[in-house]
Structure 1
Amino acid sequence: MPDTPAEVPDFTQWPSFPFEGDIRVKPLDEPVDAEPPRKGEGHRECTACNAPDEAYIWVGERWRVRAMDRPTGLPMVLILESRSHLDLGDLPNLLAAELGVMTVRLERAIRSLDGVARVHVNRWGDGSAHLHMWFLARPYGQLQLRGTFLPLWDSILPAIPESRWRENLAMVAAWLAEFGGRPLAEPPRIQWQAPSSFSGSGTAPVDVADGEPTSVIEAAEEAGPDPVEENPSAEEPTREARGPASADPEAAN
């Protein structure tokens, strides 16, 4: 019968699937004859090309790293972008090789943060023609967040404190700057003044412009965040352990 809904796939029963209850599969739209241009294609403006260095947490001669506009549910979400207006398949061999080094370097920097177990690296590219790679930190011990659905959980979980978020940004920027480039993220300032009251203390939310994406899912909808820095052969800083070495569970999916 044409009205009979399709059976939901097995992944809806995985422990990492963020939803429960009755779920229906949406009908698939008919394919279009011509796909719409992405940002940076045709007559559409490129957000990455027009962004100043001050919008990033670290900048180098050929690569830049930016964050979301405010904290989200994961300890860290960052985007690695090329300075040149190129997509992944357009990279010349030298930049392609540097992308590998920058990917490993940024993964290590994020994984060095307290409370981070894994770093998921993703590239979608359906919204922007300018190369941008996503780096998502999975919290240590949160086994339900393992695997494919981590970007969904980023929008579901309560946002981490802004002070912790800014401190994490500054630490990643400083790590990257050890190999060149310029760190632009600064740690939060310490408030030395004595509080007038011990109640109602908290961090003020960050103002976000209307329409700006504030999570991986929202940004993925809009899509729009050298030879490797001066000493690519330098030894990476040592990462401090954050948990028992034996506690290294892999996602079943």
Structure 2
Amino acid sequence: MSENTTPLPDFTRWPSFPFEGDMRVKKLAPPVEVEPPRSGEDASDCVACGTPDDSYIWVSERWRVRAMDRPTGLPMVLILECRSHLDLGDLPNLLAAELGVMTVRLERAIRSLDGVARVHVNRWGDGSAHLHMWFLARPYGRLQLRGTFLSLWDDILPVVPESQWRENLALVAAWLADFGGQANAEPAHIAWESPATIDVPTGMDGDNDRRPSTLGDVEAAEA
């Protein structure tokens, strides 16, 4: 078996390329005569069509926005889907026009989040037949993440804290809901319980029996 000696392309030396060290180009597989069907070519087998609205962070009459199942390395990764089982080239004029409006609106919503510099918008369509547009937020100041490889960095960067992720989802959903539709995402709820008792330190100056009137007084006494 001969070794692949194809030279590495220039982009492997870009600062944004996430890998380094010894690499080689994969052997290119021969083309197939007939491409296999994508997932959900038939609407009856389409995952998007069968997913209920409460799995999305925002829904409207013709569009839905969903997030990943859990936080990842980027501040925000969202997917815009149309309700109708259509691909990009199949959209009627109304949905095609709305896609432009929704793309701009969702980009603005994500870019309004703290720490977001740019929003990358991608459509591949090789895996699923149902139209879905990807929106990936690039963290502010992370110049190494600029450009083509942002989706790869999403799997490499440390995972965003879940509370921050949920807060961002709620903010984006609320932004979209200002223009219509329904926001389903909510910020993370704080699990807080009041203490059963409060220990008050005993003083030595005759105020032993005086009980602090507020929790702030307790904290000041303990300081």
TM bucket by the smaller chain? 0.7 to 0.9
* 2:164 matches 1:164: yes
Partner of 1:185: 185
Residues 175-214 of structure 1 mapped to structure 2, 5 A cutoff: 175-193=175-193
Unaligned runs of 5+ in 2: 196-223
**Which secondary structure does the structure 1 equivalent of 2:45 belong to?**
coil
Count of residue pairs brought into register by the alignment: 195
**Which secondary structure does the structure 2 equivalent of 1:108 belong to?**
helix
Residues 8-23 of structure 1 mapped to structure 2, 5 A cutoff: 8-23=8-23
- Asked if the contact 2:43/2:49 (under 8 Å) is kept, the reply is no
- Asked if the contact 1:79/1:134 (under 8 Å) is kept, the reply is yes
- Per-residue deviation at 1:191? 2.9
* 2:107 matches 1:107: yes
Partners in 2 of 1:96 and 1:43 — Cα distance?
20
Residues 1-253 of structure 1 mapped to structure 2, 5 A cutoff: 3-42=3-42, 45-193=45-193
Per-residue displacement from partner, 1:33-87 (whole Å, max 9, x unpaired)? 1111111215981010000001100000000000000000000000000000000
Partner of 2:198: none
- Per-residue deviation at 1:11? 0.1
TM-score (norm 1): 0.75
Partners in 2 of 1:107 and 1:121 — Cα distance?
8
Partners in 2 of 1:25 and 1:43 — Cα distance?
38
- Per-residue deviation at 1:193? 2.8
- Per-residue deviation at 1:17? 0.3
TM-score (norm 2): 0.84
Whose Rg is larger? 2
Could you say what the CA RMSD is over the residues aligned between the two structures, in angstroms? Answer: 1.6
- Asked if the contact 2:122/2:134 (under 8 Å) is kept, the reply is yes
Change (3 A) 1:4 1:169: closer
- Asked if the contact 1:74/1:154 (under 8 Å) is kept, the reply is yes
- Asked if the contact 1:37/1:44 (under 8 Å) is kept, the reply is no
Partners in 2 of 1:85 and 1:43 — Cα distance?
6
Per-residue displacement from partner, 1:122-143 (whole Å, max 9, x unpaired)? 0000011100000000000000
Partners in 2 of 1:114 and 1:169 — Cα distance?
12
